């Protein structure tokens, strides 16, 4: 009876079962998916695609530690991926040399644990480069990261003994002691290696977001001044987060080193840095699982769509711009909204709204794809013509322009109407 | 002596080209806070437009109409793209222009092909203007110099001596106050963005046949433009001019210097056959801008003549 106040207070913290549902179950599902995939007996191409996805998932997640969690826009994250990867490749070389030579430390080091070396390399690079970069957030940070990326990738081509010049440095993953009975020779064994480390990477990054440092990184993103008043130095918080993000990028680099057995200085340059930015943002930077979606989609597009269309980068750019303009939550935000709508009080109405919007988007896509593919075929000048579903669509055909204009106008009309309805409801 | 004079001339011209390219971005960046990633893509558009127009009519028509076209494209991008993204903050704007750069690069590849186009110096200017130390100096380079100087003078006149320029200057430092005074700030923004892109387009018309017109020209110039703007400082055209000149001269001289690290640091025992010793100064030239960028951001975040920090 003495403390009524505390007795009657409603606890706002999640209950044990809620914690389990929201935090542990998704990770278990993720692990199960990773473990079940080989049951379906994927082909070799599928395996190499899956392996690339695993590497990119960890890379994009590590990038999101900066962009999504800490609010730091970096144009040079591939530097840490690359330096970690180079550390791993050199370690792989050391393992090979040691196992054929006089032994020593490296002879007993399994290739399976090379991502640790990658993590160390990436974190070390982050620790060296991070301190001057993390003084300010925002545009200065973005510009320093850009400058550093250009400097490091230029240096990559200059120091041949470390980076191997144009042809890079290659290694052999089938040396040293075997772990878990995996020789890492055939690609399905490499899959287990990638799956294991993808899970470890995601788990590690998730664990990081639960630490006080992870929470403080979000606080300094939202309000650095207030974080400073509470007694945390924003620069220090950013710096520590930067080191960890560099470390996890290096982990992904280590995975990539074992997967491809080669690293070239291109891995350090602006192009992969831009790609990881696209992955994280298209997936959705405000959601933990967002970058996973983005990494899966972009890796798929990169390897599959580039076979179908030369203009796949154009589609990628369009997708990115549409996401930036109309869906800042990314794919994860779109799925989240869909899910919330279905569980809301009027699932039928929200489903209808979604159907209308999707119709509009599909119509616009038909028009855009026709326009782009027709132009690509025409500009190649090989006399080839875009022929989807048996239709013949040359650049000067009436039908072509009908297929371009009619769906476009219809799509714009439908989307505008849908937008108006939405505003009317709100 | 010969090397010095030629490097000086070429450096000044390259610097002026850089200034033409980045002056527009300085205006845009100081006013709207948008570091336009696609700025160099507008430069590329300028070169390609000029190529197409000069094929159809002449270089002189292109010199006038290509920048105007690029400016119109820029204004449309601002009105229908950037303005929508603006509410989500500067990072979203930066990302939007980042995607736009991808888009423009790909569209250019589709329309004009993946290889360099044959965008030539006009015949009227295709002659050696004078002879220096036995080498002929092309007239087109001097023409570039004059166009850049004319642009600099025109920009200075418009910004400092006309009413529109004064409003723009006011909006640079106090956008809200200008809005309160009844000026249509979004329209000023659109105009400045359009004009900034047009200036990049002009640089493309001039630079496209001075250098080379291919789909990679935007990507090559993109980061260097940022260096000029950041090193020059926010809100300062003079700073951008200074930074562009320093960069142009440094890069040109670095390329001209025929020395290795071993020649300079030989007294420290650096061997010419070692990896570090065999690096030439010329190969460092592409790194100079970024070294400057990082150093300036670390030591003096406001840039050379900037009036506020980034």
A115-144 pLDDT, tens digit each: 989 999 999 999 988 888 887 777 888 888
Residue B284 lies inside a defined structural domain of this protein: no
DSSP string, A49-79: HHHHHHHHHHHHHHHHIIIIIS----S-THH
Spatial separation of the C-alpha atoms in residues A24 and A21, rounded to whole Å: 6
B293 touches chain A (CB under 8 A): yes
- CA neighbor of B230 nearest in space, from B135, B133, B142, B299: B299
pLDDT of A245 strictly over 90: yes
Distances (CA, A) of A189 to A96, A145, A183, A194, A426: 19, 36, 7, 9, 53
Judging contacts by C-beta atoms under 8 Å, the chain B residues touching residue A64 are: none
Average pLDDT rounded to a whole number, residues A154-167: 79
Is B290–A139 a contact, with Cβ atoms under 8 angstroms apart? Answer: no
Out of A151, A160, A316, closest to residue B290 by CB: A151
Spatial separation of the C-alpha atoms in residues B175 and B36, rounded to whole Å: 19
Residue B232 lies inside a defined structural domain of this protein: no
pLDDT of A9 strictly over 90: no
CA distance A87 to chain B (A): 19
Residue A334: predicted pLDDT:
86
- CA neighbor of B39 nearest in space, from B303, B221, B288, B232: B221
pLDDT of A295 strictly over 70: yes
- The 10 Å CB-count burial string (b at 16+, else e) for A71-83 is bbbbbbbbbbbbb
Where would I find the H helices in B162-307?
Answer: 163-173, 175-180, 185-210, 217-232, 237-256, 261-265, 281-284, 288-299
- The 10 Å CB-count burial string (b at 16+, else e) for A192-211 is bbbbbbbbbbbebbbebbee
Lowest mean pLDDT among A35-44, A69-78, B39-48, B97-106: A35-44
pLDDT of B171 strictly over 70: yes
The answer to whether residues B292 and B231 touch, using CB atoms and an 8 Å cutoff, is yes
Residue B143 lies inside a defined structural domain of this protein: yes
Q: Which residue has the higher pLDDT, B270 or A297?
A: A297
- CA neighbor of A79 nearest in space, from A283, A252, A306, A216: A252
Average pLDDT rounded to a whole number, residues A3-9: 56
B282 touches chain A (CB under 8 A): no
The answer to whether residues A76 and A270 touch, using CB atoms and an 8 Å cutoff, is yes
B170 touches chain A (CB under 8 A): no
Ranges A49-53, A400-404, B113-117, most confident: A49-53
The answer to whether residues A254 and A60 touch, using CB atoms and an 8 Å cutoff, is no
Strand partners, A182: A179
Is B223–A375 a contact, with Cβ atoms under 8 angstroms apart? Answer: no
Residue B221 lies inside a defined structural domain of this protein: no
**Closest chain B residue to A160 measured between Cα atoms?**
B275
Out of B96, B227, B298, closest to residue A325 by CB: B96
Mean pLDDT of chain B: 83
pLDDT of A6 strictly over 60: no
Predicted confidence band of residue A3 (pLDDT cuts 50, 70, 90): low
B94 touches chain A (CB under 8 A): yes
pLDDT of A100 strictly over 90: no
Domain A16-306: which topology?
ABC transporter involved in vitamin B12 uptake, BtuC (1.10.3470)
Is A73–B94 a contact, with Cβ atoms under 8 angstroms apart? Answer: yes
| Cβ partners under 8 Å of residue B165, min gap 6 | B157, B158, B159
Q: Which two tokens stand for residue A181?
A: 């009975």
* Cα A110–chain centre separation: 27
Residue B188: predicted pLDDT:
84
Out of A148, A277, A375, closest to residue B110 by CB: A375
Residue B73: predicted pLDDT:
92
Residue A205: predicted pLDDT:
92
A109 touches chain B (CB under 8 A): no
pLDDT of B284 strictly over 70: yes
Locate tokens 């120091």: which residue?
Answer: A159
Average pLDDT rounded to a whole number, residues A201-225: 90
pLDDT of A309 strictly over 90: no
**Closest chain B residue to A271 measured between Cα atoms?**
B219
Predicted confidence band of residue B2 (pLDDT cuts 50, 70, 90): confident
pLDDT of A69 strictly over 80: yes
**Closest chain B residue to A133 measured between Cα atoms?**
B298
Predicted confidence band of residue A276 (pLDDT cuts 50, 70, 90): very high
Is B98–A132 a contact, with Cβ atoms under 8 angstroms apart? Answer: no
Residue A83: predicted pLDDT:
92
Where would I find the H helices in A20-137?
Answer: 25-36, 44-64, 78-100, 114-133
Residue B147 lies inside a defined structural domain of this protein: yes
Lowest mean pLDDT among A32-41, B51-60, B270-279: B270-279
Q: Which residue has the higher pLDDT, A400 or A282?
A: A282
A277 touches chain B (CB under 8 A): yes
CA distance B274 to chain A (A): 11
Judging contacts by C-beta atoms under 8 Å, the chain B residues touching residue A158 are: 279, 283
Q: Which two tokens stand for residue B138?
A: 């092309």
Average pLDDT rounded to a whole number, residues A222-241: 88
Residue A425: predicted pLDDT:
57
pLDDT of A101 strictly over 90: no
Lowest mean pLDDT among A3-12, A320-329, B73-82: A3-12
Average pLDDT rounded to a whole number, residues B205-213: 83
Average pLDDT rounded to a whole number, residues B260-289: 72
The answer to whether residues B285 and B255 touch, using CB atoms and an 8 Å cutoff, is yes
B35 touches chain A (CB under 8 A): yes
Predicted confidence band of residue B270 (pLDDT cuts 50, 70, 90): low
Q: From the CB of residue A286, how many other CB atoms can be counted at a distance below 10 Å?
A: 15
Residue of B34, B92, B95, B282 to mutate, testing the A interface (most A Cβ within 10 Å of its Cβ): B95
Average pLDDT rounded to a whole number, residues A241-269: 90
Judging contacts by C-beta atoms under 8 Å, the chain B residues touching residue A136 are: 301, 310
CA distance A84 to chain B (A): 22
Interface ipTM:
0.84
Q: From the CB of residue B176, how many other CB atoms can be counted at a distance below 10 Å?
A: 9
Judging contacts by C-beta atoms under 8 Å, the chain B residues touching residue A320 are: 95, 98-99, 102
Spatial separation of the C-alpha atoms in residues B218 and B207, rounded to whole Å: 11
Residue A424: predicted pLDDT:
59
Residue A4: predicted pLDDT:
52
3-state secondary structure at position B129: strand
Lowest mean pLDDT among A211-215, B232-236, B274-278: B274-278
Spatial separation of the C-alpha atoms in residues A117 and B211, rounded to whole Å: 44
Reduce the secondary structure of A377-414 to three states and give it as a string.
Answer: HHHHCCCCCECHHHCCECCCCHHHHHHHHHHHHHHHHH
Predicted confidence (pLDDT) per residue in B48-61, tens digit: 998 888 888 888 88
Residue B252 lies inside a defined structural domain of this protein: no
Categorise residue B116: left if φ over 0, alpha if ψ from -120 to 50, beta otherwise. beta
Residue B189: predicted pLDDT:
84
Residue B80: predicted pLDDT:
86
- CA neighbor of A288 nearest in space, from A62, A16, A73: A62
Residue B236 lies inside a defined structural domain of this protein: no
pLDDT of B40 strictly over 80: yes
B166 touches chain A (CB under 8 A): no
Domain count, chain B: 1
Strand partners, A386: A393
Structural domain boundaries enclosing B34 = 2-214
Strand partners, B280: B260
Is A325–B301 a contact, with Cβ atoms under 8 angstroms apart? Answer: no
Spatial separation of the C-alpha atoms in residues A346 and A352, rounded to whole Å: 10
Backbone angles phi, psi at B135, to 5 degrees: -110, 145
Predicted confidence band of residue B6 (pLDDT cuts 50, 70, 90): confident
B4 touches chain A (CB under 8 A): no
Spatial separation of the C-alpha atoms in residues A175 and A378, rounded to whole Å: 51
Residue B108 lies inside a defined structural domain of this protein: yes
Percent of chain A with pLDDT over 90: 17
Predicted confidence band of residue A201 (pLDDT cuts 50, 70, 90): very high
Residue A381: predicted pLDDT:
67
- CA neighbor of B289 nearest in space, from B241, B239, B225: B225
Ranges A201-210, B78-87, B153-162, B280-289, most confident: A201-210
Domain locations along chain A = 16-306, 344-425
Mean pLDDT of chain A: 83
């Amino acid at each position: 009876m003495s403390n009524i106040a505390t007795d009657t207070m409603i606890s706002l913290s999640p209950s044990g079962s809620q914690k389990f549902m929201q935090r542990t179950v998704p990770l278990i599902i993720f692990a199960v998916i990773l473990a079940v995939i080989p049951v379906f007996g994927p082909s070799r191409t599928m395996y190499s695609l899956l392996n690339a996805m695993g590497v990119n998932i960890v890379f994009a997640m590590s990038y999101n530690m900066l962009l999504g969690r800490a609010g730091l826009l970096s144009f040079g994250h591939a530097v840490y991926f690359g330096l970690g990867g180079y550390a791993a490749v050199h370690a792989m070389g050391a393992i090979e040399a040691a196992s054929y030579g006089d032994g020593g430390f490296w002879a007993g080091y399994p290739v399976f644990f090379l991502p640790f070396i990658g993590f160390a390399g990436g974190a070390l690079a982050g620790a060296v480069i991070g301190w001057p970069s993390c003084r300010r957030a925002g545009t200065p940070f973005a510009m320093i990261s850009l400058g550093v990326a250009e400097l490091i990738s230029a240096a990559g081509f200059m120091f041949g003994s470390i980076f191997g010049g144009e042809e890079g440095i290659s290694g052999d993953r089938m040396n040293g002691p075997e772990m878990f009975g995996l020789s890492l020779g055939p690609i399905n064994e490499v899959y287990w290696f990638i799956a294991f480390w993808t899970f470890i990477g995601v788990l590690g990054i998730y664990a990081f977001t639960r630490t006080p440092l992870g929470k403080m990184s979000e606080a300094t993103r939202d309000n650095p001044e207030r974080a400073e008043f509470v007694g945390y130095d924003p620069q220090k918080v950013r710096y520590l987060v930067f080191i960890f993000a560099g470390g996890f990028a290096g982990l992904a680099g280590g995975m990539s080193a074992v997967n491809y057995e080669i690293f070239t200085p291109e891995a350090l340059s602006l192009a992969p840095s831009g790609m990881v930015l696209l992955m994280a943002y298209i997936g959705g930077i405000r959601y933990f699982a967002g970058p996973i979606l983005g990494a899966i989609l972009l890796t798929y597009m990169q390897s599959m769509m580039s076979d179908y269309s030369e203009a796949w980068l154009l589609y990628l750019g369009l997708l990115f711009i549409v996401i930036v303009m109309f869906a800042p939550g990314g794919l994860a935000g779109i799925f989240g909204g869909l899910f919330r709508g279905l569980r809301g009080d009027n699932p039928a109405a929200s489903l209808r709204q979604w159907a209308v919007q999707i119709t509009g988007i599909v119509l616009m896509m038909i028009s855009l794809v026709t326009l782009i593919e027709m132009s690509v075929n025409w500009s190649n000048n090989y006399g080839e013509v875009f022929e989807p579903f048996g239709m013949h669509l040359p650049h000067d055909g009436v039908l072509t322009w009908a297929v371009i204009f009619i769906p476009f106008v219809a799509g714009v009309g439908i989307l505008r109407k849908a937008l108006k309805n939405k505003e009317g409801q709100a | 002596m010969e090397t010095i004079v030629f490097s000086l001339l070429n450096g000044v011209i390259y610097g002026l080209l850089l200034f033409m390219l980045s002056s527009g971005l300085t205006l845009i960046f100081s006013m709207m806070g948008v570091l336009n990633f696609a700025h160099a893509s507008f430069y590329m558009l300028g070169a390609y437009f000029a190529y197409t127009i000069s094929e159809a009519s002449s270089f002189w028509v292109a010199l006038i109409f290509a920048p105007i076209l690029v400016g119109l494209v820029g204004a449309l991008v601002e009105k229908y793209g950037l303005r929508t993204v603006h509410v989500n903050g500067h990072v979203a704007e930066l990302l939007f222009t980042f995607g736009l750069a991808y888009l423009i690069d790909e569209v250019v590849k589709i329309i004009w092909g993946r290889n360099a186009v044959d965008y030539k110096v006009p015949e009227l200017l295709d002659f050696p203007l004078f002879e220096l130390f036995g080498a002929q100096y092309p007239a087109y380079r001097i023409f570039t110099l004059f166009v850049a100087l004319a642009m600099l003078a025109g920009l200075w006149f418009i910004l400092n001596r006309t009413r529109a320029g004064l409003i723009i200057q006011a909006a640079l430092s106090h956008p809200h106050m200008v809005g309160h005074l009844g000026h249509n700030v979004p329209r000023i923004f659109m105009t400045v963005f359009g004009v900034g892109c047009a200036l990049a387009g002009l640089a493309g018309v001039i630079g496209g046949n001075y250098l080379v017109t291919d789909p990679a020209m935007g990507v090559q110039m993109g980061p260097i433009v940022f260096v000029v703007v950041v090193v020059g400082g926010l809100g300062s055209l003079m700073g951008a001019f200074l930074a562009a000149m320093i960069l142009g001269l440094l890069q040109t001289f670095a390329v001209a210097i025929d020395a290795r690290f071993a020649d300079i640091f030989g007294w420290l025992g650096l061997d010419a056959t070692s990896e570090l010793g065999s690096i030439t100064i010329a190969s460092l030239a592409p790194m100079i801008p970024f070294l400057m960028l990082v150093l300036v951001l670390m030591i003096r975040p406001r840039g050379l003549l900037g009036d506020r920090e980034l």
